[in-house]
Structure 1
Amino acid sequence: MGAVKEVTDASFEAEVLKSDKPVLVDFWAEWCGPCRQIAPILEEIAAEQADKLKVVKLNTDQNPNTTRDAGVLKIPTLNVYKNGEVVKQIIGAKPKAQLLRELEGII
C-alpha cells in the first residue's frame, strides 16, 4: 500500500483517536469505484504531508463498528480527526487540488 496504513475496529482508537497529529481516515470498500479512484490521490497526499498528517484507510465492510460510530452513511467518506474529534468531513471522490484546499488550516 505505501504511505496509507490500513486500520481496523481494533486499532482505530490507538491509530486515530490517540494520534498526536491530525489523521485523515478514508472510509472505503472494495466494491466502491470512487473509493478506488481516490486511493492514489490519498497515497500522494500521505507521502507529501507525512510530517503534518497521517492518512489511514478503514474498510467499511470489514469494520462495521467504527463505521457506525463515525456515522458514515456514504463512501468514500474522508473524516479528519484532530485530538480524537472529527474536525472535517469530506464525502465523495474529489480531485487532489480540492482535497488539499479542504485540508487547509488543518495541516
Structure 2
Amino acid sequence: MNNTSKDHVSQITDESFRSFIKENNKVIVLCVRHNCPYCNQYLPIVSTIAQEMDDTSFAQINISKNKKTAKNLNIRIVPTLIIFQNGKVKKGIIGMKSKGTTEKEIRLAFANTFW
C-alpha cells in the first residue's frame, strides 16, 4: 500500500486488501482496470472526494491483476466503488458517476445504520 499526498487514494492488492479494510473504520475501494477509460476518468473525481473526506480511507485495486479480490467482491463492471464500514460492505456503486452523485451515495451509505 502506498498513499500519495497528491491523490489520497492508496494502491491495494489481493494481499493487502483485508488488512486495509480491517485497519480502517470507513473505507471506499475503487475497483478498476487500467485499460478502462471510464476508470481513468473516474479516479480524479474519487481522488477529490478522498481529499475532502478526512474520516474515510480510500483505495483503488486493479481487478485485472488482483482476481481473488474481484471474485470475492463479485466485481464484473468497472469502475465500481465498494463502500465498507467496520469491515462490512455497506454499498456498491457501479459505473462512473458525477462528483455530487458519488458524494451523496457515500454519505447515504454511511448514514444507513440498518445494515
Give the TM-score band, short-chain normalised: over 0.9
Is there any run of 5+ residues in structure 2 with no aligned partner, and where?
A: none
Partner Cα distance (1:82, 1:48) in 2:
18
Q: Is the contact between residue 24 and residue 57 of structure 2 (CA under 8 Å) also seen in structure 1?
A: no
Greater helix proportion: 2
Larger RCO (CA under 8 A, 6+ residues apart): 1
| TM-score, length basis structure 2 | 0.86
**What SS class does the counterpart of residue 23 from structure 2 fall into?**
coil
How far is the alpha carbon of 1:20 from its aligned partner? 3.3
Which residue is equivalent to 1:54? 57
For structure 1, the 5+ residue unaligned runs are none
- The one-letter code matched in structure 2 to 1:48 is E
Query: Which segments of structure 1 move beyond 6 Å, counting only runs of 4 or more?
Result: none
Aligned residue identity for 1:90: I
In 1: Cα distance, 2:80 partner to 2:44 partner: 15
TM-score (norm 1): 0.92
In structure 1, the residue matched to 2:73 is 70
Aligned residue pair count: 105
**Aligned runs of 1:1-107 on 2, under 5 Å?**
2-16=7-21, 18-50=22-54, 52-105=55-108, 106=110
- What percent identity do the matched residue pairs reach? 30
